[in-house]
A and B are shown apart, each in its own frame.
Chain A
Amino acid sequence: MSRLRQVAGVTRLALAALPQRAGASLVVVLGMAGVVAVMVALLAMGEGFRQTFGNAGSDKRVIVLKSADDAGITSAVTREQLPIVMNLPGLARDPDGKPVAVGLKFMTSELRERATGNEVGVPMRGVTGQAFRLWPEVRIVEGRAFDWGKREAIVGRAAQREFAGLELGATVELTNGPWTVVGVFEAPGTLFESELWGDVEMVFPGFSITGQFSAVVGELAGPDSLQTLRDAVSTNPQLSHVVLTEAEYYATQSANLGQAMTAFGYAVGVIMALGALFSAVNTLYAAVQARSREIATLRALGFGAAPVVASVLLESMVLCGAGALLGGVLAWLAFDGNSMSTLAGGQDLRQIVFAFRVTPGLMLQGIAAGAAVGLLGGLFPALRAARLPIAEALRRA
Chain B
Amino acid sequence: MKYLPLVWAMLWRSKARTWLTFLSIVVAFLLYGALQAVSATFMLGVRLSGDDRLIVTYRQGLTKLLPAAYQSRIEAVDPDIIVAAPVMFLPATWKDPKNQIQVLATDPETLVPVDPRIVVDPAQLQAFKSRRMAVLAGRALAEQHGWKVGDRLPLQSPVQRKDGTEVWEFDLVGTFELDRARTGVEVPAQLVVMHLDAYNEGATFSNYVIWYTVRVRDPARATAIGKAIDASFRNSELETRTQSEADFQRGFVKQFGNVGKMMGAILAAVFFTLVLVAGNAMMQAFRERVPELAVLKTLGFGNGRVAALIAAESLLLCALGGAVGLGLARALVPLAPAGLTGPGSTLFLEPATLATGFALALGLGAVAALVPAWRSARLSVVEGLVRA
Interface residues of A (CB under 8 A from B): 23-24, 26-27, 30-31, 34-35, 37-38, 42, 66-67, 69-70, 72, 74-76, 107-110, 116, 118-121, 175, 207, 209-210, 260, 264, 267-268, 271-272, 274-276, 278-279, 281-283, 285-286, 340-343, 347-349, 351
Q: Is B235 an interface residue (CB 8 A)?
A: no
Is the Cβ of B254 less than 8 Å from the Cβ of A120? Answer: yes
Q: Which residues of B contact A279 (CB under 8 A)?
A: 20, 24, 273, 276-277, 280
* Structural contact, B91 and A340, CB atoms closer than 8 A: no
Minimal beta-carbon separation of A278 from chain B (angstroms): 4
**Residues of B close to A27: CB separation below 8 A:** 276-277, 280
Q: Is B351 an interface residue (CB 8 A)?
A: no
Residue in contact with A260 in the complex, picked from B257, B266, B340, CB distance below 8 Å:
B340
Closest partner residue, chain B, to A276 (CB atom): B273
Report Cα–Cα, A343/B20, bound state, in Å: 41
| Nearest A residue to B60, CB-CB | A110
| B270 contacts partner chain A, Cβ-Cβ < 8 Å | yes
Chain B min CB distance to A330 (Å) = 10
4 closest residue pairs by CB, A with B: A67-B158, A278-B24, A275-B27, A279-B277
Partner of B258, one of A69, A107, A108, A116: A116
Q: Known pairs A67-B158, A121-B63, A282-B277. 17 more at Cβ < 8 A?
A: A30-B276, A74-B160, A209-B65, A210-B205, A268-B266, A272-B270, A274-B27, A275-B24, A275-B28, A275-B31, A279-B20, A281-B16, A282-B20, A285-B17, A285-B20, A347-B89, A349-B62
Secondary structure dominating the interface of B = helix
Shortest CB-to-CB span from A176 to chain B, Å, is 8
Q: Are A74 and B63 in contact (CB under 8 A)?
A: no
- A207: which B residues are within 8 A, CB to CB? 64
The CA-CA distance from A351 to B252 in the complex, in Å, is 12
> Residue of B at shortest CB range from A283?
B280
Alpha-carbon separation in the docked complex, A45 to B256 (Å): 13
User: Which residues on B sit within 8 Å (CB–CB) of A260?
Assistant: 340
Most chain B CB within 10 A, of A116, A121, A286, is at: A286
B63 contacts A30, CB within 8 Å? no
B 259-307 contacts with A by CB, 8 A: 266, 269-270, 272-274, 276-277, 280-281, 283-284
Q: Is the CB of B20 within 8 A of A275?
A: no
Could you say which residues of chain B place their CB within 8 Å of the CB of A66? 158, 160
Q: Is the CB of A118 within 8 A of B251?
A: yes
CB pairs A–B below 8 angstroms (5 shown): A31-B273, A38-B270, A283-B280, A285-B20, A343-B256
> Do A109 and B270 touch across chains, with their CB atoms under 8 A apart?
no
Convert B129-160 into 0s and 1s, putting 1 for each residue whose CB lies closer than 8 angstroms to a CB of A. Answer: 00000000000000000000000000001111
Q: Give the interface size bracket for B toward A.
A: 35 or more
* Most-contacted residue by chain A among B97, B251, B272, B281 (CB, 10 A): B281
Partner of A70, one of B158, B204, B255: B158
Q: A34-B272, A74-B159, A347-B91 are in contact. Are A107 and B24 (CB under 8 A)?
A: no
Could you tell me if B274 and A275 are in contact, using CB atoms closer than 8 angstroms? yes
Q: Given A210-B205, A279-B277, are A70 and B91 also a contact pair (CB < 8 Å)?
A: yes
Q: Is residue B30 within 8 Å, beta carbon to beta carbon, of the partner chain?
A: yes
Is B41 interfacial (CB 8 A cutoff)?
Answer: no
B61 within 8 A of partner (CB): yes
* Any A CB within 8 A of the CB of B198: no
Interchain nearest-CB distance for A287 vs B (Å): 11
What residues of A have a CB within 8 angstroms of the CB of B35 in the complex? 268
List B contacts of A42 (CB < 8 A): 266
Of A74, A108, A276, A285, chain B has the most CB atoms within 10 Å of the CB of: A74
Question: In the assembly, what is the distance between CA of A175 and CA of B159, in Å?
Answer: 23
Task: Determine if B97 and A69 form an interchain contact, defined as CB atoms under 8 angstroms apart.
Answer: yes
CB-contacts of B186-206 with A (<8 A): 204-205
Residues of A within 8 A of B276 (CB): 26-27, 30-31, 279
**Bound CA span A384–B256, Å:** 50
Residues of B within 8 Å of A275, CB to CB, are 24, 27-28, 31, 270, 273-274, 277
CA distance in complex: A34, B265 (Å): 11
Contacting pair A76 B160 (CB below 8 A): yes
Q: Given the complex of chains A and B, what is the CA–CA distance between A30 and B251 in angstroms?
A: 37
Q: Is the CB of B158 within 8 A of A74?
A: yes
Asked whether A34 lies within 8 Å of B60 as measured between CB atoms, the reply is: no
B62 near A74 (CB under 8 angstroms)?
Answer: no
Chain A nearest Cβ from B168, distance in angstroms: 13
Contact of A348 among B16, B63, B157 (CB under 8 A): B63
CB distance from B324 to the nearest CB of A (A): 14
CA distance in complex: A70, B91 (Å): 9
Determine if B158 and A108 form an interchain contact, defined as CB atoms under 8 angstroms apart: no
Residues of the A chain whose Cβ atoms lie less than 8 Å from the Cβ of B266: 38, 42, 268
Contact partner of A271 (CB less than 8 A), chosen from B30, B62, B158, B205, is B30
Q: How far is the CA of A272 from the CA of B62 in the complex (A)?
A: 39
Expressed in whole angstroms, the Cα–Cα distance for A207 and B89 within the complex equals 19
The reply to whether B63 and A107 contact each other, CB–CB distance below 8 Å, is yes
- Bound CA span A278–B19, Å: 9
Q: If A27-B277, A66-B158 touch, does A268 touch B251 (CB 8 Å cutoff)? A: no
Q: How far apart are the CA atoms of A264 and B270 in the complex, in Å?
A: 15
- Asked whether any CB of chain A lies closer than 8 Å to the CB of B21, the reply is yes
* B208 interface hit (Cβ, 8 Å): yes
Distance to closest chain B CB from A298 (angstroms): 23
> B23 an interface residue at 8 Å Cβ cutoff?
yes
Q: In this complex, which of B30, B34, B254 has the most chain A Cβ atoms within 10 angstroms of its Cβ?
A: B254
Nearest B residue to A341, CB-CB: B257
> Is A342 in contact with B273, judged by CB distance below 8 angstroms?
no
Q: Do A34 and B270 form a contact, CB below 8 Å, given A116-B258, A175-B60, A349-B255?
A: yes
Name A175's contact: one of B23, B64, B89, B283 (CB within 8 Å).
B64
A393, chain B: closest CB distance, angstroms: 16
